[in-house]
Amino acid sequence: MVRHLFCSFKNIEKRVIFLIIIAVSGNAKHGKDKSKELIAKALKQFGKRVKTENLSTHIGSLAVKFFKWDGNKDEPGRTLLQETGMKIMEKNKYFWVDNVAIPLYALGIDIYDFVLIDVRFPSDIKRLKEIFGESNVITLRVNRVGYKSSLTEKQKSHISETALKNYEFDYVINTREGLDFLRAEVRKFMTNFDIYGS
C-alpha cells in the first residue's frame, strides 16, 4: 500500500545508520540550492557517495499533474507551488519529507554517505531526526545578506518561507552577493563539522 508507505514510519525497523543527512534551509534565492551543489561537489572530490534531494521537485510534479503548471517560477507559479504544498500538509504534515526520507531509509542507507535535503518546516527536521537519528542530521541555514527578494509580500510572509526563521540551526551561513563568498562560507561549514573526514 503506497499510501501507507508515505504516511507512516512506525512500521520500519530501526537499523544502525552511518548515512549523514545535511538538512538545508533558506529563503527563496538565498543560495540553498547552490550551497547544496557546492557541498556535494566537494564531498564527491573526497570520494564520498552523495545524493541531493529537493522536496520542491515533488511539489512541482503534483502541480503539473493537477494544475497543468508550466514549470515557470514567476509570481503565479510560485504562489501555486506554495498553495499546493500546503494543501497536502494540511492532510499530513510529514508527507513531503516522508516522500523522500522513507524510500531513502529503506533503499539508500547503504548506497550513500551523505544526502542533502532542503527543509522548510520544523516538522521536516523533526521527521528526519526521527528516521535517521539525531546525531545523523546536520541542520544548515543559508542567508544571503542584503538580498532584496523578488517575491511578493504575501509570498515572503508565507509559512513555507517563515516557519524556520527562528529555528536554532547547527550552523548558519551568512553570505554576500557573489559565488566566491558562498564558496568560502561553505568551506568553513564543512571544516567546522569535519565533514571532509567523515
Among 59, 58, 51, CA closest to 22: 51
pLDDT bin (cut points 50, 70, 90) of residue 197 is low
Q: Which of 1, 11, 8, 22 shows the shortest CA–CA distance to 112?
A: 22
Query: Average pLDDT, stretch 46-71?
Result: 89
Residue 79 confidence (pLDDT) above 70:
yes
Give the DSSP H/E element, type plus range, for residue 141: strand 137-144
Residue 135 lies in a domain: yes
In a domain, 70, yes or no: no
pLDDT by residue (tens digit) across 129-187?
999 999 999 999 999 887 777 778 888 888 988 899 999 999 999 988 778 889 999 99
* Structural domain count, the chain: 1
Q: Classify residue 100: in a domain, yes or no.
A: yes
CATH number at residue 167: 3.40.50.300
3-class SS string, 97-138: HHHHHHHHHHHHCCCCCEEEEECCCHHHHHHHHHHHCHHHEE
Q: Is residue 179 part of a domain?
A: yes
* Structural domain range at position 35: 20-53+96-197
Task: Indicate whether 59 belongs to any domain.
Answer: no
Q: Is residue 15 a part of any domain in this protein?
A: no
Q: Is the pLDDT of residue 9 over 60?
A: no
Structural domain contains residue 26: yes
- The reply to whether 82 falls in a domain is no
Q: What is the pTM of this model?
A: 0.85
- Give the separation between CA 37 and CA 166, rounded to whole angstroms: 25
Residue 8: what pLDDT?
Answer: 43
Phi, psi of 94 (to 5 degrees): -100, 0
Buried b / exposed e across 46-73, counting CB within 10 Å, b at 16+? Answer: eebebbbbebbebbbebbeeeeebeeee
